[in-house]
Structure 1
Amino acid sequence: MISPAEIFARLGSDIGPLMFVGSIISHYLPHELGSYINAYFQRLVLFATPCIQITFNELAGERPTRNEAYSAVENYLSIMYSKEAKRLKADIKNNSLVLSMDEYEVAADEFEGAKVWWVSGKSCSKTDTNSSYYKLFFHKRHLDLIIRRYLTHVLKEEPNLRNPRRKLYSNMGSRWSHVVFQNPATFQTLAMEPEKKKEIILDLNVFSTAGGFYARIGRAWKRGYLLFGPPGTGKSTLISAMANHLGYDTYDLDLTAVEDNTELRKLLIETSGKSIIVIEDIDRALDFSGQMRKRKANGEQEDMGRLGIQERETKPYQVTLSGILNFIDGLGSSCCGERLIVFTTNHVEKLDAALIRKGRMDKHIELSYCRFEAFKVLAKNYLEIEAHPLFPTICSLLGKTNTTPADVAEHLTPKTISGDVETCLENAEICLQNLIKALEKEEENVRLKSEEGGSVRNHQLKRKKLMMPQDHLIINEKRARS
């Protein structure tokens, strides 16, 4: 006669097939009915067997965000179980095909003699619409092994997690969403003066290893960067290079999509450590403590237009300078460490002094026009050359004109891409000639503007001299009367 213990043991070994049956039944029924039946089927299995279930939901928290534990399980299963599962789903990540378990699929795993089963599914509840999950089933006698060692193996020892994919977050209103960060910019390819580049790299390296220092002096482990300069000078590219150098995630914060300071604080709290929080064109994104509204009331429409305030007439916008200052160094900014806060602007003179003082924006970096050292980096990147007979001419012209790295890069982009050496040399010659023509034209425009400005000044001086005798007569007449 079979004992109850043996019955439970046999049922425990058959969890996989039972889960498979439940998943198949739910798959061929309408979505809501199938999910309902599958949930109760799993409860029945748990009631009839000495098993424990652990659920990993895709979304977590009151303001649903992507659950990192779910992502870790998904990565683990994509490698370990794609060969075993019968139904797979495909995705493209980092330009490669990745296979993972389809919904309502079951796969088994074994770890140090303990057998476990993974079940994938999708929730249809009102709060978690279209939210997926993974459920882990195992015999209760393996509880300590699973909790202490197996889950550690899944969540931390999986190879992809040792080199996690960096993410680019953007706020959709008051919530973050993300995609894989794939910008390839590095400091090696960044068009910048070598000394300034070394200075920035050193500063980033010191910051990333200074956790103990910040704790000792009683400050939050964060640092502010202000990047300023004309459009096209590489501010966004520098941010990408910083993220790739440090291995940080990037949060691209659109202030115009945030309703008020409360929503701004919530977004800040939901950011993670080892990240860069970016606000681009800060001068256009903020209503500085009502100052611009006051200008609008006085009829200064030109300034209002430059700062993008007119478009907010139909939409409440309550993010203030005070809210931004609290965002940078208020209590919420200390919720986690190792973060960079980066502001970019084309007009640094418009920014409030309280916003960019040291302690908030600790390092100010000016990105200016392209000079010869930056040009050589671009020539190596685009044309794969480090020297050319035309370089001295270009060096002279760059010193006389204000041309951005973006403009130079456009002229250095070959019209045809080929690995043939002769074609590459021909492309380089054509591109450099085109750049010289553009720089000469710019030099001519600068000369004409200078001459026009000189002629205007000469005209003003002549007019002043013509007015002087009459002025003297008036003065003498006044003296005589007195």
Structure 2
Amino acid sequence: MELLTQMWSFLGLLTVLQNILPTQLLSFLHSIYESVQDVFSPYSYFEIPEFNGYGGIDVNDLYLHVNLYLNSINTSTTCRHLTLSRSKSSNRISYTVAPNHTVHDSFKGHHLSWTHHVETAQDSLDEKRSFTLKLPKRYHMTLLNPYLEHVTTRGEEFKRVSSERRLFTNNGHGSFESGWSSVPFRHPSTFDTLALEPELKKQLTDDLKAFSEGKEFYNKIGRAWKRGYLLHGPPGSGKSSLIAAMANFLSYNVYDLELSKVSDNSELRALIIQTTSRSIIVIEDIDCSIDLTGERITKNRRLRPMTKNCQHGSGNGEDNGRVTLSGLLNFTDGLWSCCGEEKVIVFTTNHRDTIDPALIRCGRMDVHVSLDTCGMHAFKTLVKNYLGVDSHVLFDVVESCIRSGGGLTPAQISEILLRNRRNADVAVKAVITVMQAKILGADMAKSPESLDRGLTESSPQKKREERSNSWESKAKFLVRLTSLTKSDSGRRGI
């Protein structure tokens, strides 16, 4: 009791002295106390305020990076009091350290901590926020800069991954303040659900990962930090889905550049300047987006009249002759290709041979990806996605059809599986029927949809009779396919 009485007396004395002594003297005594404490403390303390200076206008980027960094690590194990929030532009729940609470961290074997301070100014509702970093005084000279670089890098990476991705398209006003308009990019395609063979998937993911982590390498060799991909293949082979999977894999925004809306090379440069780093710039159907101008077009006009529409797509030749080949080459590999960092440029085409070789050479389009009909692994991926089936007794028949030239594009297979998704047996049989029709050279005017509809609407007995009559005079391979299909139908009672 006497000890408590003495403590209360001492606190009362301090209160009286605080009210009597001048403010300047109290500040001086406080600074002496902090200096003495700093001499005997084994730690150094660094304050990072929310704003630079005293105006409260210029935001301190380091404060934002610290906040993002603490979101990226599992602070719930070292801090019991967190403030949770979620913005309209993201589905991710973010959290900040509650006022006057501490989060512990480690770096290169040393223990560090962050304390979040929030103070309310007198006679005001404004709050003063800051983080205080505590680290060992003995090593602060060697720890501070590398640790803050680590915090900044990881904070920016977390912001890129957690932010909502956007899909941009040019609005035809690239010379103004913003030539792009955007919507949220929420395409569900990933490399796990993509109908590609495993070897090609691995090659693409390895290449994309090496590119995204290659900042120092590209700077070392003196090359712009960009990568070009040419995706070519028939319609429905999955070019757009692959672009979406690349964007989701890298967590990049997507810029869908329509060259037909670009008036000239100057507007094209303005659009390039407005694109952000860590983005994918896409020009789909590059062979018929525009008719490249310059001497090539002049020569072609002398030899033949300009056609109104592109042979493999739409677009007016006169309107499309406003962006030149040299302007497009500067966009892919010239000085203007260096605007921003970490950019992927993707061209797609259904007819690779119609593109000017200068546009797709190495250094401009570094990786050429040929997309065609589905292989067996890609087919199994689609069946898993649409039907939820990992295996089926008719997979051997499908594989034989693919090897014999009956392969279909992912879009064709997906449509058949989508219509018959309630019955896996009917769906797989429908795909086999279309593959067999392709092998036999059936009437191409009859669409896969009508073939599949005829299969689902006809009776089982009629289907057996039609197959039997159809295969009698065909090759032994087709007889084998039919027998396998019939035997499975007999076992399942279909």
TM-score by length of 1: 0.59
The structural deviation recorded for 1:335 is 2.3
Structure 2: distance between partners of 1:354 and 1:161: 34
* 1:184-199 correspondence runs (5 A): 184-199=188-203
Which of 441, 451, 465 does residue 445 from structure 1 map onto? 441
Closer/same/farther in 2, CA of residues 308 and 296 from structure 1, 3 Å limit = farther
How far apart, in 2, do the equivalents of 1:220 and 1:299 lie?
39
Q: Distance in 2 between matches of 1:251 and 1:318?
A: 20
Give CA-to-partner distance per residue, 1:291-315, whole Å, 9 cap, x none: 34653554445595316686254x4
> For 1:431 and 1:444, how far apart are their aligned partners in 2?
20
Equivalent of residue 310 in structure 2, options 294, 297, 305: 305
Return the letter of the residue paired with 1:279: I
Tell me, in whole angstroms, the C-alpha distance in 1 between the residues paired with 2:415 and 2:194.
15
- CA deviations 1:120-160 (Å, max 9, x no partner) are xxxxxxxxxxxxxxxx9668xx8999xxx9xx99xx69987
Structure 1 unaligned blocks of 5 or more: 1-50, 57-68, 84-89, 99-108, 118-135, 418-426, 450-482
Measured against aligned partners, the alpha-carbon deviations of 1:13-66 in whole angstroms (never above 9, x if no partner) come to: xxxxxxxxxxxxxxxxxxxxxxxxxxxxxxxxxxxxxx946399xxxxxxxxxx
Change in 2 beyond 3 A, CA 1:323/1:116: farther
Work out whether 1:369 is the aligned partner of 2:348.
no
Aligned residues of 2:372 and 2:409 also touching (Cα < 8 A): yes
Alignment of 1:352-431 (within 5 A): 352-398=356-402, 399-415=404-420, 427-431=423-427
Change beyond 3 A, Cα 1:157–1:195: closer
Work out whether 1:203 is the aligned partner of 2:199: no
Q: 2:330 & 2:339 partners in 1: Cα distance?
A: 13
Residues 190-222 of structure 1, C-alpha deviation per residue, up to 9 Å, x if partnerless?
Answer: 111111111111111111111111111111111
Distance 1:116 1:282 in 2: 59
- Residue type at the aligned position of 1:269: I
Distance 1:395 1:307 in 2: 32
Measured in 1, the distance between the counterparts of 2:256 and 2:121 equals: 40
Whether 2:248 is the aligned partner of 1:244: answer yes
Correspondences of 1:255-334 after superposition (within 5 Å): 255-290=259-294, 291-292=296-297, 294-296=299-301, 298-300=303-305, 305-306=310-311, 311-313=316-318, 315=319, 317-334=321-338
User: Which whole-Å CA distance do the structure 2 matches of 1:97 and 1:217 have between them?
Assistant: 40
Residue of structure 2 in register with 1:168 after alignment: 167
Distance 1:166 1:91, change over 3 A: closer
Aligned length: 334
Task: Name the counterpart of 1:350.
Answer: 354
CA distance in structure 1 between the aligned counterparts of 2:89 and 2:216, rounded to whole angstroms: 40
The verdict on how the C-alpha distance between 1:194 and 1:269 changes in structure 2, with shifts beyond 3 A counting, is same
Amino acid at match of 1:164: S
Per the normalisation by structure 2, the TM-score is: 0.58
Q: Separation in 2 of the partners of 1:324 and 1:219?
A: 19
CA contact (8 A) 1:168 1:181 kept: yes
Deviation at 1:444, TM superposition (A): 2.5
CA gap 1:367/1:326 in 2 versus in 1, 3 angstroms: same
Counterpart position of 2:185: 181
2: distance between equivalents of 1:280 and 1:238? Answer: 12
Structure 2 residue corresponding to 1:54, chosen from 45, 53, 57? 57
Unaligned runs of 5+ in 2: 1-53, 72-81, 101-115, 133-147, 446-494
> Aligned pair in 2 of structure 1 residues 223, 278: CA closer, same or farther (>3 Å)?
same
Write the deviation string for residues 386-419 of structure 1: whole angstroms up to 9, x where unpaired.
Answer: 22111111112223224211101111115466xx
Summarize deviations over 1:255-278 as a string: whole Å, max 9, x none: 111111111111111112211111
Shift of 1:162: 6.2
Query: Do the aligned residues in 1 keep the contact of 2:401 with 2:407 (CA within 8 Å)?
Result: no
Q: Pairwise CA RMSD of aligned residues? A: 4.2
